[in-house]
Amino acid sequence: MDASAAPATRAPSATRAEPLKLLMVAFHFPPIAGSSGYLRTLKFAKYLPAAGVQPTILTVRPQVYPAYDKNAKPPLPVTTHVERTFALDARRAFAIMGKSLSILSLPDRYWSWVPFGAAAGRRLARQGGIDAIFSTYPIASAHLIGLILHRLTGKPWVADFRDPMWDEFTSAQGLALRLRQRIERAVLDRCSLAMVCTDAMYDLFCRRYPEHKAKLMNIPNGFDEEDFQGLEAPGARVPGTGPVRLLHSGLLEPNDRDPVPFFKAVKALCARRPGPAPVAVDLIAPSDEDNYRKIIAGLGLDGVINILPWRPYRKSLEAMAAADILLLFQGPSCFSQVPAKLYEYMRAGRPILAVTPAAGETGKLVLSTGAGSVVAHDDPEAIGKALEEWVDAVNAGASLPHAGPDTILRYSRGRHAELLAARLRETLYR
């Protein structure tokens, strides 16, 4: 659903034969831990040089993240410069007895990054020159920095939306909602390209900003083939050799990714199958671990559903490849979104049981690619039926739906970087 790009505001300094210089403003970036939000920017940065675009990353110091991995080494070309600037987490910095005023976290809790990021970006533009600016949401401060730098330098600006800033499911109200709406409007009015990652978001922005339809482009998330080299799927299962292993990797929470109906379905399945539990469910770094442990214990599922700590990205991929079934939770409040992990699940080649509305973007992608099965997120009985059927199929050695090679190729991160580079050149050289 790509449309023709908007014209650049100023001619680039580079010629067609020279690499374009792209300043990428991104809050989420390694060594952040516990979030997959960094992958989109990281993988663009990794593959853009091969497409003739030299990125420079503008991000924050690791200490501002809720958690980070000191040993993380992002797989970037040696020519890629990463500029880290000061920022505060307002929710922590201005908390009194563990609480802070919500108004101090507008437009987001990292607003202090804006002046430091804008100053660093302007300095980078003066020192090495840039041809274009890229910023990525869901941290609104990144778009504010992109807007400021666009105004200061006159360079074309790509505004990336990994999520919509507001829709009918947005919890923000009053001033917070109005601020999000004003920022989004300002971004769409000023940017040269507005990039989204799902068909539903593209359609939403087309309806909301019909006058800017020519600026919109849809590049989905995907996977990096190099990350999966050497990973092996489990061999044929021998019935009676142990429980069927299910895995979910990443955050869970009551509004968007509620696993409790699934927990209840597991309890019902275990009740119908006396003896050793027929399944073993691993939840990697779900967040709010103490709460989920209480729920699991209350259902009598200790040892059946296990909460595992965060692990490095490669280790998470290894766990995906070794599972019998991969779990995905996505509630109706994320109707227009697709979690990045779905593309990794697809590449892992394991069957995906998606607990999500079939009409949402996640459900539609799972079904249209044949990558798995979809079951209603709020129906423990339906979840239980689907789970039991799949457990029996795994034990019988039957083939379950999974993404095939042709489907997988469409979601290569390298291919997506080529699409972005081509659109950048079209914008710069119109």
Q: What is the pLDDT of residue 12?
A: 42
Specify whether 420 is located in the same domain as 393: no
195 and 56: one domain? yes
Which tokens sit at 165? 């800033």
Q: Is residue 52 part of a domain?
A: yes
Kindly state the percentage of the chain with pLDDT values over 70: 94
User: What is the pLDDT confidence band of residue 233, given thresholds at 50, 70 and 90?
Assistant: low
Q: Is residue 9 part of a domain?
A: no
253 and 313 share one domain: yes
Q: Is residue 329 part of a domain?
A: yes
For residue 100, is it within any domain?
yes
Q: What is the pLDDT of residue 13?
A: 43
Domain containing 91: what range? Answer: 20-222+412-428
Of the candidate ranges 95-109, 357-371, 412-426, the one whose mean pLDDT is the lowest: 95-109
Are residues 210 and 304 part of one domain?
no
Cα separation, 235 vs 223, in Å, equals: 23
Distances (CA, A) of 210 to 66, 185, 189, 193, 402: 38, 12, 11, 14, 37
Q: Are residues 186 and 169 both part of a single domain?
A: yes
Cα→Cα distances 55→51, 136, 148, 427, Å: 11, 14, 19, 17
CATH number for the domain harbouring residue 68: 3.40.50.2000
| Average pLDDT over every residue of 71-92 | 91
pLDDT at 11: 39
pLDDT tier, 316 (very low <50, low <70, confident <90, very high otherwise):
very high
- For residue 15, the model assigns a pLDDT of 44
Asked if 335 and 417 sit in the same domain, the reply is no
CA end-to-end distance (rounded Å), the chain: 20
176/90 same-domain check: yes
Tell me the pLDDT band of 360, cut-offs 50, 70 and 90.
Answer: very high
Sequence-separated (6 or more) residues with CB below 8 Å from residue 225: 347, 412, 413, 414
43 pLDDT exceeds 80? yes
Residue 230's pLDDT is 87
78 and 114 in a common domain:
yes
Question: Which residues, including other chains, have CB under 8 Å from residue 131's CB and lie 6 or more apart?
Answer: 12, 13, 14, 20, 21, 22, 155, 156, 428
What's the mean pLDDT in 125-146? Answer: 95
Q: State yes or no: cis peptide before 31, omega within 30 of 0.
A: yes
In a domain, 302, yes or no: yes
Q: Tell me the C-alpha distance between 165 and 337, whole Å.
A: 12
Q: Are both 417 and 393 inside the same structural domain?
A: no
Q: Do 231 and 366 reside in the same domain of the chain?
A: yes
Distance CA 218, CA 198 (A): 6
φ/ψ of 59, rounded to 5, equals -140, -165
Residues 242, 106 within the same domain:
no
126 plus 155 within the same structural domain: yes
Would you say residue 29 lies in a domain? yes
Beta strand 157-161 with 372-375: parallel, antiparallel or unpaired? unpaired
Q: Where is average pLDDT lowest: 54-58, 96-100, 356-360, 372-376? A: 96-100
